[in-house]
């Protein structure tokens, strides 16, 4: 029997659940992936169609117009200095240099070089720093000509799409030609032809290999690779380009080595067609347009914009006239620099800027008024110490014990000539710019309170600044005149800080608004009464203290600032003593109409170039000269006193005494409890100034960790005779012995006035500048001219009991209900609390 032809059927294997899941997941992913690819391609086609690259065919540049605050044209700027040249005009060696360093596969890719991006990433990781970029020449052209500068994924995506469309529209040679004509090469030169003329004084067709490599290296960073400003960096960059050219076979190693040996020889600077009118202000406007409106310099100078500014021609011309006159800079040893910013305190409008003393300022040069970062010295004291103290409930007549003090960690700041003044008022400490009281007060109110206030005022304070030395201006980073002027607006503007702005609005060539029209931005900082009290104190800095050189025939308030020379061997004399000189000198001041900040110093301070002046001399004199000219024919007005303002002078709080209560740490404590606190110990008599001394300068040094610090500032010689003893001696309970003399000029009679209140039984009036608020003569004699009667009382508490009129210059005392003089100072506020005294907390 034949075997059966039927084959035996095998049972089918069942698919495992795992494989089924994988199959389903793969199918889903495939569907999603295909859908995603479809969506991505559709999105790309939409972006590609919408991308407008027609700008590449338009005229290369349109002038930008700048207007002052009246609407008049200041100047017209353009980058039309560019001379458009065909690609054939440029030597091949120049084209090879550009492609070698910017895009080695330019003639191979289609706009995006994926291989180049990977190679650049590898090289950069290998070298530890950036040696190659991933952007192609086409991408750079798209970014420069078609897009905004923000660093976002959306902008990078648009750049990629634009690059692909450019490659589809133009040939490689056309793209390279546009790139070489539009790109910025620094020093005001747009395009290769103008760059060749600017740097080498020759036509681009005549460029050598070394010159071509130098120029090819600049566009990546025109500032950092400028052969004018940074020749060594430019040379290093040039040699990198030469090495890349040799590696890519575009030149031989011998050509590379020969070109590397060449020294950079630049042509004499050519006359630049830039903003000859108000150059410092225009430069700042360009920076502000870039920072606030997101515009590139290329867009600002080539897009036909109309930029309306806050520049006041009268103010700007006054500043420039003064800065062009060397007579106002008698200490110049060669290279002395200065900068000034003038603002409208009510709005923050920047009215004028002079950024350097250069007689022929270059376009986009360093601006010492807006870009400088220098330690402000004692000019910072009102911002970090005294204004926060007023906001915390302290008053001008509260007292600080000025004596040698170790504030912890070995930090022992010193006053000028190691002089101590015993008990001094807050006001006197500010007027004379004593250092120890400023540090003691900052410690009392809390360093965090001071730093928070300073940061809110716009100062660039760092974490490293959290030291008590910051009270004397020892900033780790420093600040600019623009930032200081902005901070001081709060004192002249009822406690509201006005943010600085130079640009009012920008419109394009068609009249459409670019961005938003600027409006004043005000930030509440102080109670109006506290701001006015601060102004009264700063007025006395000018009329009685270190700022005498700023006096003029109108109300002026302000503060001086000086930083000492670094404590290094370079600034020691043959005996090893510190040279008596300064690194930086400041004056920041204001009238009701203008606030201005002046800085004076050398770009690089060394043993041959340092200041022998202080902020109270030449900077204060510069302020006076510029502001008085700017306000010529402007009616004189007084600082506006806030409604319901009451003179709040304080007088009960004491700081830095051994048993002095720590008021800043007892927030909310009742005034009664504070009044019952133990009295601080009596101070030793203040030392007399030496004969012929022109006054008590600012103190010497800040914390040892800072490079420079607040320096002593002598009053200007024209201030007159030397002051007598400064700071009245606090009396024991019951006052000084009968017949004791009244405090001398500048002294505080608040702790040394009439018999029974610490004064002279003989009834001698306090001398000029004394405070009769809590210590007048027992017989009611009025305080002498200049005395502050803001806290005047009746006989027995220091006031005039017989109604004798006070001489001109004294501040009227608060009135009682009966119409006579008050019998006690205005009530104090608890810390951080306002009691209608004008010095409450910030709003």
Active site residues: 102, 378
CB 366, CB 374: distance < 8 Å: no
CA distance from start to end of the chain = 116
Q: Is 97 helix (H, G, I), strand (E, B) or coil?
A: helix
318 phi and psi angles, rounded to 5 deg: -60, -45
Q: Could you please report the per-residue DSSP string of 484-510? A: HHHHHHHHHTTTEEEPPB-EEEEE-TT
Rounded distance between C-alpha atoms, residue 555 and residue 553, angstroms? 7
Rounded distance between C-alpha atoms, residue 108 and residue 278, angstroms? 48
User: Which token pair is 155?
Assistant: 């902008």
775 phi and psi angles, rounded to 5 deg: -165, 80
Rounded distance between C-alpha atoms, residue 448 and residue 569, angstroms? 35
User: Which token pair is 568?
Assistant: 């290094």
CB 416, CB 712: distance < 8 Å: yes
CB atoms within 10 A of CB 609: 15
Rounded distance between C-alpha atoms, residue 82 and residue 177, angstroms? 13
Q: What residues contact residue 168 under an 8 Å CB cut-off, 6+ apart?
A: none
Radius of gyration of the chain (CA): 35
Rounded distance between C-alpha atoms, residue 655 and residue 424, angstroms? 10
Degrees to nearest 5, angle at CA 590 with 616 and 430: 50
Degrees to nearest 5, angle at CA 773 with 771 and 777: 80
Rounded distance between C-alpha atoms, residue 650 and residue 790, angstroms? 10
Does an H or E element contain 65, and which? strand 64-67
DSSP 407: -
Q: What residues contact residue 612 under an 8 Å CB cut-off, 6+ apart?
A: 331, 580, 581, 582
Give which of 93, 270, 90, 300 is closest to 181, Cα–Cα. Answer: 90
User: Which token pair is 500?
Assistant: 């600085």
Q: Is 134 helix (H, G, I), strand (E, B) or coil?
A: coil
Rounded distance between C-alpha atoms, residue 242 and residue 100, angstroms? 9
Rounded distance between C-alpha atoms, residue 600 and residue 16, angstroms? 85
CB atoms within 10 A of CB 63: 17
What is the dihedral sign for C-alpha 664, 665, 670, 673?
negative
CB 256, CB 244: distance < 8 Å: no
**Edge-to-edge strands, sheet with 422-425:** 422-425, 399-402, 654-655
What number of CA atoms fall less than 13 Å from residue 391's CA on the CB side? 27
Q: Is 567 helix (H, G, I), strand (E, B) or coil?
A: coil
Q: What residues contact residue 334 under an 8 Å CB cut-off, 6+ apart?
A: 609
| 740-743, long-range: CB < 8 A, 24+ apart | 742/766, 742/767, 742/770, 742/777, 743/767, 743/770
H helix runs in 510-604, sequence order:
528-543
Checking DSSP bridges between strand 654-655 and strand 399-402, what pairing results, if any? parallel
Rounded distance between C-alpha atoms, residue 120 and residue 306, angstroms? 40
Rounded distance between C-alpha atoms, residue 142 and residue 672, angstroms? 73
């Amino acid at each position: 029997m034949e075997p059966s032809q039927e084959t035996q059927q095998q049972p089918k294997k069942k698919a495992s659940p795992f494989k089924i899941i994988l199959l389903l997941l793969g199918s889903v992913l495939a569907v999603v992936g295909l859908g995603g690819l479809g969506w991505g391609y559709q999105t790309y086609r939409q972006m590609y169609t919408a991308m407008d690259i027609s700008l590449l065919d338009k005229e290369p540049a349109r002038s930008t117009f700048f207007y002052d605050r009246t609407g008049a044209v200041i100047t017209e700027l353009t980058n039309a200095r560019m001379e458009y040249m065909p690609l054939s005009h440029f030597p091949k060696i120049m084209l090879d240099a550009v492609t070698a360093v910017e895009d080695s596969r330019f003639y191979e890719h289609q706009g995006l070089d994926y291989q180049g991006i990977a190679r650049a990433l590898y090289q950069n990781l290998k070298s530890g720093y950036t040696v190659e970029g991933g952007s192609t020449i086409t991408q750079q052209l798209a970014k420069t000509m078609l897009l905004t500068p923000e660093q976002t994924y959306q902008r990078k995506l648009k750049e990629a799409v634009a690059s692909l469309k450019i490659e589809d529209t133009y040939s490689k040679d056309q793209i390279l030609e546009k790139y070489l004509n539009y790109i910025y090469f620094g020093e005001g030169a747009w395009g290769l032809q103008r760059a060749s003329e600017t740097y080498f004084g020759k036509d681009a067709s005549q460029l050598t290999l070394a010159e071509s490599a130098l120029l090819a290296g600049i566009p990546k960073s025109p500032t950092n690779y400028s052969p004018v400003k940074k020749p060594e960096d430019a040379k290093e960059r040039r040699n990198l380009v030469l090495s890349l050219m040799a590696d890519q076979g575009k030149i031989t190693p011998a050509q590379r080595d020969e070109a590397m040996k060449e020294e950079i020889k630049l042509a004499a600077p050519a006359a630049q067609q830039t903003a000859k009118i108000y150059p410092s202000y225009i430069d700042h406007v360009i920076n502000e347009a870039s920072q606030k409106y997101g515009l590139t310099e290329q867009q600002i100078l080539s897009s036909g914009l109309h930029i309306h500014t806050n520049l006041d021609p009268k103010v700007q011309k006054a500043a420039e006239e003064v800065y062009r006159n060397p007579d106002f800079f008698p200490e110049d040893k060669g290279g002395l620099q200065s900068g000034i910013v003038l603002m409208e305190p009510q709005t923050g409008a920047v009215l004028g800027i002079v950024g350097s003393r250069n007689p022929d300022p270059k376009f986009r040069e360093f601006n010492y008024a807006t870009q400088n970062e220098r330690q402000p010295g004692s000019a910072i004291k009102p911002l970090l110490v005294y204004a926060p103290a007023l906001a915390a409930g302290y008053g001008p007549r509260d007292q600080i014990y000025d004596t040698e003090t170790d504030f912890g960690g070995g930090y022992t700041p010193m006053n000028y000539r190691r002089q101590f003044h015993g008990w001094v008022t807050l006001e006197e400490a500010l007027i004379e710019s004593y250092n120890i009281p400023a540090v003691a007060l900052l410690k009392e109110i809390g360093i965090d309170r001071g730093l928070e206030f300073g940061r809110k005022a716009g100062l660039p304070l760092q974490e490293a600044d959290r030291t008590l030395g910051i009270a004397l201006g020892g900033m780790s980073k420093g600040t600019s005149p623009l930032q200081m002027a902005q901070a001081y607006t709060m004192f002249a503007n009822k406690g509201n800080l006005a943010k600085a702005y130079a640009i009012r609005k920008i419109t394009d060539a068609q009249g459409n608004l670019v961005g938003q029209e600027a409006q004043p931005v005000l930030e509440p900082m102080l109670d109006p009464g506290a701001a006015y009290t601060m102004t009264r104190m700063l007025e006395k800095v000018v009329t009685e203290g270190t700022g005498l050189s700023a006096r003029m025939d109108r109300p002026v308030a302000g503060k001086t600032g000086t930083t000492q020379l670094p404590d290094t061997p370079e600034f020691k004399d043959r005996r090893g003593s510190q040279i008596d000189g300064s690194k930086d000198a400041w004056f920041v001041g204001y009238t009701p109409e203008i606030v201005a900040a002046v800085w004076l110093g050398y770009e690089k301070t060394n043993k041959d170039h340092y200041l022998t002046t202080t902020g109270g001399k030449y900077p204060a004199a510069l302020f006076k000269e510029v502001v008085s000219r700017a306000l010529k024919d402007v009616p004189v007005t007084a600082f506006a006193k806030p409604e319901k303002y009451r003179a709040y002078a304080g007088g009960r709080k004491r700081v830095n005494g051994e048993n002095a209560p720590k008021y800043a740490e007892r927030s909310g404590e009742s005034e009664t409890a504070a009044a019952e606190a133990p009295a601080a110990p009596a101070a030793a008599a203040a030392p007399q100034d030496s004969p012929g001394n022109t006054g008590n300068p600012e103190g010497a040094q800040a914390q040892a960790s800072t490079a420079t610090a607040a320096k002593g500032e002598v009053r200007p010689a024209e201030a007159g005779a030397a002051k007598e003893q400064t700071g009245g001696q606090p009396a024991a309970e019951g006052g000084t012995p009968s017949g004791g003399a009244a405090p001398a000029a500048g002294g505080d009679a608040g702790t040394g006035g009439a018999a029974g209140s610490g004064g002279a039984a003989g009834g001698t009036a306090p001398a000029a500048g004394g405070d009769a608020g809590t210590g007048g003569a027992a017989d009611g004699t009025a305080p002498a001219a200049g005395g502050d009667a803001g806290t005047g009382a009746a006989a027995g508490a220091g006031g005039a009991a017989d109604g004798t009129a006070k001489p001109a210059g004294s501040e009227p005392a608060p009135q009682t209900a009966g119409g006579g003089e008050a019998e006690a100072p205005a009530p104090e506020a608890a810390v951080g609390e306002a009691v209608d005294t004008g010095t409450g907390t910030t709003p």
